[in-house]
């Protein structure tokens, strides 16, 4: 695709866009088009019909391209982007040794830069929405909001409401200052085109029981979500059992914090009873398969969750920002963890993972009415994917091919709220390369000053150790 196409797509609109095909919830259709106006899909339908009903618009043809909904990353930590590879080889609960110290070392400039770097990677990978689970950097969350807005990505912005750090712990009374700032945060972003407020508690034991209850109520009233890491690691499940006689999810249920407003991150270690609790209460989950592989103890039973009617999307947890590779990982992890053992060679039949990566995610993060499908009235958050490639052109089953063979190289354009934000992997209207250079410098300083504790050596050091060991064994 050449420059004229880019310029036509960057037009403030309205525009009539005619791709080769459009991915609807029911599947891909050829010969359809969309009208984008004022940030939304003003019309979606057969191209000839839209051309007739919009005679004043010049059609922008995008042959060989699929127009599909942008991916929704249902679980991210935007201000952790300086250290993705610090987690490699590490045992679970790295938040204690890596993330908390790293975020603690960020100032306003480095937190902004880290968040914008994460947003850039996400947009390049086809994510048009990210749910940020709340920064623990000592900065106003407006720093993260500004980074997302400046990068041009839709952001569900978590505010951390932990209040159980004091001597009374979880049994204490709620910290009124925490609830007051939660109330303000929920009202602060009204009318913002890209920022949607959310509350967050790092893990159930990080907040007092009254605060777990109050945040659930406040979020439900505001139509927002509360993000909590739940049942991710064995150590966390066992701590909860020792303390409450209940697993984390059961504890949240007893407190009254389950419900459609809860976005439970991970939920990998689930008993059959907890699956029932999720389904019965309408609680949403972010299934994070790459996080399981990199630092987890288990893989969430996502195929079973889909069957049982549990609401869920997929999340990166900041591991890597490629929507197609995430969909692939979502399927792959189900195959290895569950499908091989039961002879389920389908594990969701492809479409499940595209759907969970788009409108399942939008629903889970509380934006089901806003984004996640190519549909009249929804925000125009979408991708133009080049399907005229060796990987995808000989198509027999496009949705499944996108899951197994797609990746971000095939994304020609990314739109958020009707505006072209990314063209062939580069941001429009701002300098991505300069941001990356700045981030590289700030990341060195932040990690050096953070007091991060790693258990595992780097790859190169591990190789040297390995060779040393084998050498001495031979001697």
Residues at the site binding Zn ion, with contacts judged by CB under 5 A: 317
Nearer to Zn ion, 250 or 317 (CB): 317
What SS3 class is residue 230?
strand
**Residue 425 is encoded by which pair of tokens?**
């992997």
Nearer to Zn ion, 144 or 420 (CB): 144
Q: Which residues contact 106 (CB under 8 A, 6 or more apart)?
A: 79, 82, 114, 137, 138, 139, 446
**Residue 134 is encoded by which pair of tokens?**
């709340």
Nearer to Zn ion, 312 or 415 (CB): 312
Contact of 297 with 233, CB cutoff 8 Å: yes
Minimum CB–partner distance for residue 280 and Zn ion (Å): 25
339 DSSP assignment: I
Burial class (CB in 10 A: 0-12, 13-18, 19+), 448: exposed
Minimum CB–partner distance for residue 251 and Zn ion (Å): 19
**Residue 149 is encoded by which pair of tokens?**
């807005």
If residue 68 lies in a helix (H) or strand (E), which one and from where to where?
strand 59-69
Nearer to Zn ion, 95 or 112 (CB): 95
Nearer to Zn ion, 71 or 294 (CB): 294
If residue 27 lies in a helix (H) or strand (E), which one and from where to where?
strand 27-30
Report the C-alpha gap between 122 and 204 in whole angstroms.
28
Minimum CB–partner distance for residue 82 and Zn ion (Å): 16
Report the C-alpha gap between 244 and 289 in whole angstroms.
28
Q: Which of 288, 174, 309 is nearest to 231 (CA)?
A: 288
Contact of 50 with 43, CB cutoff 8 Å: yes
Minimum CB–partner distance for residue 379 and Zn ion (Å): 25
**Residue 196 is encoded by which pair of tokens?**
């949607």
Minimum CB–partner distance for residue 106 and Zn ion (Å): 17
* CA dihedral (342, 344, 345, 350) positive or negative: negative
Nearer to Zn ion, 87 or 153 (CB): 87
Nearer to Zn ion, 317 or 322 (CB): 317
Report the C-alpha gap between 141 and 157 in whole angstroms.
8
Minimum CB–partner distance for residue 390 and Zn ion (Å): 36
Minimum CB–partner distance for residue 77 and Zn ion (Å): 6
Nearer to Zn ion, 44 or 230 (CB): 230
Minimum CB–partner distance for residue 229 and Zn ion (Å): 5
Minimum CB–partner distance for residue 87 and Zn ion (Å): 11
Which residue number places its CB atom closest to Zn ion?
A: 317
Nearer to Zn ion, 37 or 322 (CB): 322
379 DSSP assignment: B
Nearer to Zn ion, 37 or 103 (CB): 103
Minimum CB–partner distance for residue 75 and Zn ion (Å): 6
Which residues make beta-bridge pairs with 255? none
Report the C-alpha gap between 64 and 1 in whole angstroms.
10
Report the C-alpha gap between 196 and 200 in whole angstroms.
13
Q: Which residues contact 230 (CB under 8 A, 6 or more apart)?
A: 203, 204, 248, 249, 252, 264, 265, 266, 267
Nearer to Zn ion, 178 or 200 (CB): 200
Minimum CB–partner distance for residue 448 and Zn ion (Å): 24
Report the C-alpha gap between 24 and 69 in whole angstroms.
8
What radius of gyration, in Å, describes the C-alpha atoms of the chain? Answer: 22
């Amino acid at each position: 695709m050449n420059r004229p196409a880019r310029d036509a797509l960057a037009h403030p609109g309205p525009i009539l866009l005619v791709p080769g095909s459009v991915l609807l919830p029911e599947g891909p259709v050829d010969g359809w088009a969309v009208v984008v106006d004022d940030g939304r899909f003003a019309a979606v339908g057969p191209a000839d019909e839209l051309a007739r009903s919009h005679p004043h618009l010049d059609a922008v043809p995008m042959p060989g391209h699929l127009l599909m909904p942008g991916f929704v990353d249902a679980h991210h930590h935007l201000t952790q982007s300086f250290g993705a590879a610090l987690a490699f080889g590490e045992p679970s609960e790295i938040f204690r040794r890596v993330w908390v110290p790293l975020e603690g070392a960020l100032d306003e400039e480095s937190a902004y830069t880290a968040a914008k770097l994460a947003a850039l990677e996400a947009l390049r990978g086809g994510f048009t929405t990210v749910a940020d689970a709340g920064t623990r950097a000592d900065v106003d969350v407006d720093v993260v909001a500004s980074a997302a807005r400046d990068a041009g990505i839709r952001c569900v912005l978590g505010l951390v409401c932990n209040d159980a750090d004091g001597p009374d712990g979880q049994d204490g009374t709620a910290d009124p200052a925490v609830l007051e700032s939660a109330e303000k945060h929920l009202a602060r972003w009204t009318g913002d085109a890209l920022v949607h407020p959310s509350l967050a508690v790092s893990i159930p034991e990080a907040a007092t029981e009254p605060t777990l209850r109050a945040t659930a109520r406040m979020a439900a009233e505001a139509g927002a979500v509360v993000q909590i890491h739940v049942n991710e690691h064995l150590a966390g499940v066992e701590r909860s059992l020792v303390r409450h006689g209940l697993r984390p999810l059961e504890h949240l249920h007893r407190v009254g914090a389950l419900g459609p407003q809860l976005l439970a991150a991970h939920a990998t270690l689930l008993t059959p009873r907890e699956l029932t609790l999720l389904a019965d209460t309408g609680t949403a989950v972010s299934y994070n398969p790459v996080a399981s592989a990199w630092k987890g103890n288990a893989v969430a039973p996502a195929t079973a969750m889909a069957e049982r009617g549990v609401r869920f999307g997929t999340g990166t947890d900041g591991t890597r920002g490629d929507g197609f590779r995430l969909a692939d990982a979502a399927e792959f992890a189900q195959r290895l963890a569950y499908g091989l053992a039961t002879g389920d060679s389908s594990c969701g039949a492809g479409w499940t993972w595209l759907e969970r990566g788009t409108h399942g995610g939008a629903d889970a993060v509380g934006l089901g009415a806003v984004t996640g499908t190519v549909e009249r009235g929804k925000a125009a958050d979408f991708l133009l994917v080049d399907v005229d490639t060796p990987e995808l052109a000989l198509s027999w089953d496009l949705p499944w091919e996108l899951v197994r063979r797609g990746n971000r190289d095939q994304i020609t354009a990314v739109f958020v709220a009707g505006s072209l934000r990314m063209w062939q992997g580069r941001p429009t209207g701002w300098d991505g390369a300069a941001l990356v250079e700045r981030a590289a410098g700030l990341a060195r300083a932040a990690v050096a000053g953070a007091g991060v504790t790693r258990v595992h050596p780097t790859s190169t050091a591990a190789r040297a150790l390995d060779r040393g060991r084998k050498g001495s064994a031979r001697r």
